[in-house]
Homo-oligomer: A and B are copies of this chain.
Amino acid sequence: MEITVMKNIMGANEQKADELRALLKKNKVLMVNLIGSPGAGKTTILENTVGALRKKGYKVAVIEGDVATDRDAKRLQRFDIPITLINTDGACHLEALSIEASLNGFDLNDLDIVFIENVGNLVCPAEFDIGEHAKIAVCSVTEGDDKPSKYPLLFREAGAVILNKTDLEQYTNFNRKGFMEDIKNLNGNIPMFEMASMKNPDMEPWVQWLEKKFQAVRA
């Protein structure tokens, strides 16, 4: 019986996700969903990404998912962009229904790219289609090289991988070759962007990837 109920929930979520993609298409807005462990650096990456895109003239908005607190949302306030905070109050992932409420609060006509920072969690958020055009798997060298093999679903579902905190790699036993091989086995030649998000990283390859994705939505 539990399984039936769960299937219904998943079905309703997927239907809503499709509706959201149609809404985004109509408004020619790209939506990207950042997923990673707590402390992988998602918010810092977002700060750098939003800064770089704003310099290029893009109009961006952010949906912040957090179990509790408005700490991440506050870090993004300085950009003077639309931000919606979803406090899940204990829940471990975002669903399409809450994304719909957030999108309805934005003026989509006046936006190019919406970023979602999902709840810090490598497991559950990967299971939910929330209408995004791409899931981005965010991981950091300090978490170790075994994350793709141990949490395969996200890396299979992702449209790109960000490997963060590479400036700390020299102090760890991170096995880069093993990490790359595991990702390749899970998801072929998925694009990977390296960052040291606290140390003025080169955002250009990642930003160009986003621009290309945006052009595809715009076309």
Binding site for B on A (CB under 8 A): 1-2, 5, 9, 37-39, 66-69, 71-72, 90-92, 119-124, 127, 139-140, 142-144, 146-147, 149-153, 165, 167-168, 171-173, 198
Which residues does chain B contribute within 8 Å of A146, judged by CB atoms? Answer: 69, 71
Known: A9-B2, A92-B92. A68 touches B168 (CB 8 A): no
- Is the pair B168, A171 in contact by a Cβ cutoff of 8 Å? yes
Give the number of copies in the complex.
2
Shortest A122–chain B CB gap in Å is 5
- Is the pair A92, B5 in contact by a Cβ cutoff of 8 Å? no
CB-CB nearest in chain B for A165:
B142
- Is the pair B198, A151 in contact by a Cβ cutoff of 8 Å? no
B39, B90, B119, B151: which contacts A143 (Cβ < 8 A)?
A: B39
B5, B71, B153, B168: which contacts A142 (Cβ < 8 A)?
A: B168
Give complex CA distance A175, B38 in Å: 16
Shortest A119–chain B CB gap in Å is 7
- Is the pair B90, A153 in contact by a Cβ cutoff of 8 Å? yes
CB-CB nearest in chain B for A146:
B71
